[in-house]
């Protein structure tokens, strides 16, 4: 996939850093990936959107391919709207089977969505929104189609940064490092890692991971959202988002203080 296929590359715009400032929140498009499926990408996406919305930004969220629905028939963007409130949402394709999009498309005959289409949607939305978040399906290299197109192609085509959402506990270091290494190899910027669901009673591995995850990710720990956050209502969720996300997203999360609270660091 080259930049010509998407038509254009969105240039991240950075605001000047000041003492307290949000350094990169002026980036227009962010890709939210994860170490796998069910790690909390949608909750993190909702939290970033909620904070941006609360600061007056117009936010759009793109779900590139929705494969499988919750038992109540809802998809990720229903969750985003419930948690983040007034955001524009675009689901580009829906498959009913909870599978990789390429597999679900092959089995159902429903058309695939291409990285160029996803990038194009993000570019269009960026004309009328301050922030566009793109969530994939599962982890970074899950295929959209049988040509092997993935979310990595979308991030590369757009030239925009990626946030890695990771699990808290044992096993996350390898998956995070694999994701970060692929991003590095493909020349895609990773801004850092966020724990999608931080346990109420974290075990030893989870606590130690607060120190080791940034190393595996090759970037800072930019947040940790408590487990159960997805069940809150909009106002409560906003406060959790503020506490759980770094100042880079307009929140108050301090990784050193957080680690200290768990006797790490
Ligand atoms: N912090 C959290 N609070 C509450 N529920 C959570 C949290 N993180 C994850 N979950 C729950 O775990 C499940 C998976 O989370 P989520 O839907 O965000 O995963 P995902 O990484 O977006 O997966 P997918 O690849 O399907 O998009 C969901 O049912 C969600 O409600
Ligand atoms: C069904 C699930 N919730 C996602 N929508 C799709 C996850 C695909 C993962 C494929 C894989 O990595 O093996
Ligand atoms: Mg999701």
Q: Note the pLDDT of residue 263.
A: 76
Please report whether residue 148 resides in a domain.
yes
Q: Note the pLDDT of residue 234.
A: 87
Q: Calculate how far, in angstroms, residue 37's C-alpha sits from the geometric centre of ligand 1.
A: 8
Q: Note the pLDDT of residue 3.
A: 38
Strand 162-166 relative to strand 190-198: parallel, antiparallel, unpaired?
parallel
Q: What is the largest CA-CA distance in the chain?
A: 54
What residues are labeled active site?
63
Q: Note the pLDDT of residue 63.
A: 98
Verify whether ligand 2 is closer than 6 Å to residue 136 (CB atom): no
Please report whether residue 136 resides in a domain.
yes
Q: Calculate how far, in angstroms, residue 72's C-alpha sits from the geometric centre of ligand 1.
A: 15
Please report whether residue 15 resides in a domain.
no
Verify whether ligand 2 is closer than 6 Å to residue 68 (CB atom): yes
> CA-to-CA distance for 43 and 46, rounded, in angstroms?
5
Long-range CB contacts (within 8 A, 24+) of 21-28: 21/247, 22/247, 22/248, 22/249, 22/250, 23/247, 23/248, 24/161, 24/191, 24/248, 25/52, 25/131, 25/248, 25/249, 25/250, 27/131, 27/160, 27/161, 28/126, 28/130, 28/131, 28/132, 28/160
Q: What is the total count of domains within the chain?
A: 1
Q: Alpha-carbon torsion 122, 128, 132, 138, what sign?
A: negative
Q: Calculate how far, in angstroms, residue 135's C-alpha sits from the geometric centre of ligand 1.
A: 12
Residues ≥6 apart with Cβ < 8 Å to 6:
115, 116, 119, 120, 123, 157, 158
Residue of 53, 66, 190, 193 whose CA lies nearest to 132:
53
Neighbours of 29 (CB within 10 A): 24
Determine the atom of ligand 1 nearest the C-alpha atom of 67. Answer: 26
Q: Please list the pLDDT of the chain residue by residue as tens digits (265 residues).
A: 333 334 445 444 433 333 343 444 566 999 999 999 999 999 999 999 999 999 999 999 999 999 999 999 999 999 999 999 999 999 999 999 999 999 999 999 999 999 999 999 999 999 999 999 999 999 999 999 999 999 999 999 999 999 999 999 999 999 999 999 999 999 999 999 999 999 999 999 999 999 999 999 999 999 999 999 999 988 999 999 999 999 999 999 999 999 999 977 6
41 is in an annotated binding site: yes
Say which CATH number the domain at 166 has: 3.40.50.300
Closest residue (by CA) to atom 1 of ligand 2? 98
Please report whether residue 2 resides in a domain.
no
Please report whether residue 10 resides in a domain.
no
Q: Note the pLDDT of residue 20.
A: 40
Burial of residue 72 (number of CB atoms within 10 Å: 0-12, 13-18, 19+)? exposed
Please report whether residue 7 resides in a domain.
no
Write out the residue range of the structural domain in which residue 108 sits. Answer: 26-261
């Amino acid at each position: 996939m080259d930049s010509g296929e998407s038509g254009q590359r969105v240039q991240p715009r950075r605001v000047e850093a000041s003492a307290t400032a949000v350094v990169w929140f002026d980036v227009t498009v962010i890709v939210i990936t994860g170490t796998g499926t069910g790690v909390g990408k949608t909750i993190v996406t909702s939290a970033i959107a909620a904070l941006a919305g609360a600061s007056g930004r117009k936010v759009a969220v793109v779900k590139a391919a929705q494969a499988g629905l919750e038992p109540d028939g809802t998809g990720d963007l229903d969750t985003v709207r419930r948690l983040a409130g007034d955001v524009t949402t675009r689901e580009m394709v829906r498959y009913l089977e909870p599978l990789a999009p390429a597999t679900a498309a092959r089995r159902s005959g429903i058309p695939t969505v291409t990285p160029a289409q996803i990038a194009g949607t993000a570019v269009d939305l960026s004309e009328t929104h301050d922030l566009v978040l793109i969530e994939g399906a599962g982890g970074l290299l899950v295929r959209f189609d049988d040509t092997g197109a993935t979310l990595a192609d979308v991030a590369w085509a757009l030239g925009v940064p990626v946030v890695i959402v990771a699990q808290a506990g044992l096993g996350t270091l390898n998956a995070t490092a694999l994701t970060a290494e692929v991003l590095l190899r493909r020349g895609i910027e990773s801004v850092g890692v966020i724990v999608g669901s931080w346990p109420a009673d974290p075990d030893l591995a989870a606590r130690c991971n607060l120190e080791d995850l940034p190393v595996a990710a090759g970037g800072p720990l930019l947040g940790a959202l408590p487990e159960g956050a997805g069940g809150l209502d909009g106002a409560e969720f906003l406060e959790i988002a503020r506490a759980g996300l770094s100042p880079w997203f307009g929140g108050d999360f301090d990784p050193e203080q957080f680690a200290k609270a768990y006797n790490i660091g």
